[in-house]
Structure 1
Amino acid sequence: MSAAKYKRVVLKLSGEALAGTKGYGIDPVIVDTIAREIKGIKAAGLDLAIVVGGGNIWRGLAGSAKGMDRATADYMGMLATVMNSLALQDALENYDVDTRVQSAIEMRQVAEPYIRRRAIRHLEKGRVIIFAAGTGNPYFSTDTTAALRAAEIEADVILMAKKNTDGVYDSDPRHNPDAKKFKELEYIEVLQRGLGVMDATATSLCMDNKIPIIVFSIDEPGNILKVALGEDIGTVVGGRK
């Protein structure tokens, strides 16, 4: 196995990544596949934290668009991320990967409360941390959670696992066969061109804290481990460390 390029990484998974072909709900086979790759990351000696979205169960923006109070809709989305986090924790522990879920919304029966120093201590002890319930505040996405937690735990990089794309393009390659894929981008380019790597708040946080973002495809088996080990795949925002 190649020597790891990074020491501490944050893996950002969309909720849809856990849903499989149906596009909604939790597919245990897909979750198991992701857990196997994560076990490989731990075997390489990396500190790993994970942020998972909840779009396979509920999207706050979708509820708000249909007349629901935005804050209420967003809190429901945060609870969806907790469900995904528990499913991923269960799959990881089936592979003997010591895992802790930390929730930004206190729910002690199912998860620890998020405490930065405790999270860092878990990482130092070789445990995987899954950050659930977003930032605990409405109006913030799980992309922003990934950027915030990466800064707090002093991560080397954020790995953005995407479905149906292998990087960042100047237009949608599904509709434009001539779409150009970027190998590297600066944060300001992402913001100015509205390329949708992360939302603007998350991108700005990464820019301010000089945290590189690597966008890659989760559809290709083994890609999570490859990008964690520093293989040259996907699109890098902010430069490779």
Structure 2
Amino acid sequence: MSDTEKPAFDRVLLKISGEALMGDQGYGLHPPTVERIAREVKSVHDLGVEICMVIGGGNIFRGLAGAAQGMERTTADYMGMLATVMNALAVQSALEELGVFTRVISAIRMDEVAEPYIRRRAVRHLEKKRVCIFAAGTGNPYFTTDTAATLRANEMACQVIFKGTKVDGVYDKDPAKHPDAKRYDEVTYDECLQKHLGVMDASAIALARDNDLPIIVFSLDEPGGFRGILAGEGTYTRVHS
């Protein structure tokens, strides 16, 4: 895509899992991977696209897994929210190393490290071409970062959610385990729910459907994939009504 071409969207939300930041490690943060993702974000930011981000915390702590091991669910979920703040700060640092002004905005107040979530202030940051990373989920237990991403995308009037994953779209079954897995170019919200396709959790899909917010599922491991889709290139699945 040349710099003179207009990207397909003006304001987007990028949702990535915490696991995307750990590279080949089994846990934690892998700095070269964080830097690579930051460069992907910068390449889109350089086109003039306003970018929001939501990052999961599964590379550090997963609330549901903690609850399954006997921890009280609310406590486990709050621990997971704190993990998302750590990931957000890491990505902020990587982006600012590349010269991209970034704000971490937390749903749980922690004023020394992040701004509190105030919708109008966040919109103003976007208008000033700052990347906004929304951390700590919705601030409530029992809601995933997928739901937080859909909520923030609607509040920020984003035109689309980009869901970065390990695979290049939505499949009818796990392509890592089933060589005959079929990839969808397009799929409806209702099909995702009925067939349990695992794009996002049911609350997030329903919220996107009710507000007619499309979701593009693509591979975050494909270099230039994020920027390429904005130019109408690459392989991905579009989820819509």
User: Same fold per TM (> 0.5)?
Assistant: yes
Equivalences for 1:48-127 in 2 at 5 Å?
Answer: 48-127=51-130
Measured in 2, the distance between the counterparts of 1:68 and 1:4 equals 46
Q: 2:25 aligns with which of 3, 22, 25?
A: 22
Paired residues of 2:225 and 2:234 also in contact (CA < 8 A): no
What stretches of structure 1 of length at least 5 have no aligned partner?
A: none
Whole-angstrom distance in 1 between the partners of 2:86 and 2:176 = 31
Contact kept? 2:50, 2:129, Cα under 8 Å: yes
What is aligned with 2:174?
A: 172
Q: Which residue identity lines up with residue 71 of structure 2 in the other structure?
A: M
C-alpha contact 1:6 1:229 (8 A) present in aligned 2: no
Candidates 34, 41, 46, aligned match of 1:43: 46
Q: 2:162 aligns with which of 159, 162, 177?
A: 159
TM-score by length of 2: 0.96
User: Is 1:33 aligned with 2:31?
Assistant: no
The 2-side partners of 1:29 and 1:232 are apart by 24
**8 A Cα contact 1:159 1:214, kept in partner:** yes
Q: Percent of aligned positions with the same letter in both sequences?
A: 60
In the TM superposition, what is the alpha-carbon distance from 1:232 to its structure 2 partner? 4.7
Partner Cα distance (2:94, 2:101) in 1: 11
Unaligned runs of 5+ in 2: none
Distance 2:117 2:233 in 1: 31
Partner SS, residue 131 of structure 1: strand
Question: Which stretch has the larger CA shift, 134-143 or 222-231?
Answer: 222-231
In structure 1, the partner of 2:229 is 227
* Deviation, structure 1 residue 230: 3.6
Match of 2:207 in 1: 205
Alpha-carbon RMSD across the aligned residues, in angstroms, is 1.0
Q: What is the TM-score normalised by the length of structure 1? A: 0.96
Deviation at 1:30, TM superposition (A): 0.6
